[in-house]
Structure 1
Amino acid sequence: MKEYYFATEFRMSFNQAEKTVLSALSNRGFGVLTSIDVQDTLRGKLGVETPPYKIFGACNPQLARKALEAEPRIGTMLPCNVILRETGDGRVEVAAIDPVASMQAIDNPSLTGIAHEVRALLQAVIHDLSGHAQREASPQAPEDDLIDAASEYSFPASDPPSYMGGAAVAGPPPEEQDKTREPVTRAPSAPEEVKPTKDCP
């Protein structure tokens, strides 16, 4: 079956995930027109208990206006639904409708470009949220934490410590003495310059 949604799954509490999803939608230009608490609705109407499940009606105002101008009855398919549901073991799934797939039944070429614009934005939302799944899949090792903590106080590679008299000194090593300066002592350059001392035999 052809996919009609984009989704990602990661470990996070449901309440925190809801805040994270709403923030991700806002960052990509979506407002949330509706929020349906499916768990609460089914509990109240049917007296049944289900895992936490919410449906958010996401809308990008500029693109919604373009879609309504191109197809006045497109409102029957708006807003774009994004779901958040608990999957167990402290994990949640976020899924968004693929507007290109949902609008294929409408014979209006003017909607094609708009649908692709909305699809790109919703895919970006899911991609942003996928970062939580990637961090979960690649946890930092404890030794990496120690390295990161120690690096706060380490010297940069371009500025190593120098050692003077056995004591570490922060900063670059002292500049070398000018090699062109004449040394304090020198070897005699001619035999007549050698003068014996009084104690010599």
Structure 2
Amino acid sequence: MNYAFEEKSSRSYAETLEKLKQAITDNSFGVLYEVNLKDKIEGKGFDFANNFTVLEVCNPKLAKEVLDEQIEAGYFLPCKVVVYEKENAVYAGVLKPTVLIDMVGNDSLHAAAVNVEEILVKAVKSAV
């Protein structure tokens, strides 16, 4: 199962991260949380060589629509978007909302997941 959409970036890690945050904002989403996993892991005394940042993003209007339909879908909110380094390259991607929402088993939520996924994929593509 392909659970994520990702693309290799032609930009640096820092540039990709900043462009991605701007693209998310430009597409009516907000960044609720930004977690630098490299810093968190190293802060606990473990070595971690690669930069890896998780952005938890949300569009309140779309989230409310989904939660009003089925509150348990909240287990999958907010959406996760990442930027990371691997083998001297930078990648940006999104955990696919369509894959997650299919686990809920409510077909009426699929259209919302498709909409969110299209928006976040567009943001990733514009950032790389």
Same fold (TM over 0.5): yes
1:81 corresponds in structure 2 to 80
Q: Is residue 2:21 matched to residue 1:22?
A: yes
- Map residues 111-190 of structure 1 onto 2, 5 A cutoff: 111-129=109-127, 132=128
Cα distance in 2 for residues equivalent to 1:127 and 1:115: 18
Cα distance in 2 for residues equivalent to 1:118 and 1:55: 17
Cα distance in 2 for residues equivalent to 1:54 and 1:19: 11
2:99 corresponds in structure 1 to 101
1:34 corresponds in structure 2 to 33
Cα distance in 2 for residues equivalent to 1:12 and 1:112: 33
TM superposition score normalised by structure 2: 0.91
Cα distance in 2 for residues equivalent to 1:25 and 1:54: 15
Cα distance in 1 for residues equivalent to 2:57 and 2:20: 11
1:139-166 deviations in Å (ceiling 9; x for gaps): xxxxxxxxxxxxxxxxxxxxxxxxxxxx
1:12 corresponds in structure 2 to 11
2:42 corresponds in structure 1 to 43
SS at match of 1:84: strand
SS at match of 1:42: helix
Point out 4+ residue stretches in structure 1 off by more than 3 angstroms.
none
Cα distance in 1 for residues equivalent to 2:92 and 2:39: 19
TM superposition score normalised by structure 1: 0.60
Gaps in structure 2 of 5+ consecutive residues:
none
Greater helix share, 1 or 2? 2
Cα distance in 1 for residues equivalent to 2:120 and 2:14: 21
Cα deviation for residue 83 of structure 1 reads 0.5
Greater strand share, 1 or 2? 2
Matched residues, number: 128
Kindly provide the amino acid, as one letter, of the partner of residue 76 in structure 2: M
Cα distance in 2 for residues equivalent to 1:74 and 1:37: 26
CA-based RMSD of the aligned residues comes to 1.4
Query: Which structure is richer in relative contact order (CA contacts within 8 A, separation 6 or more)?
Result: 2
Cα deviation for residue 12 of structure 1 reads 2.1
Contact 2:20 / 2:124 at 8 angstroms: preserved in 1? Answer: no
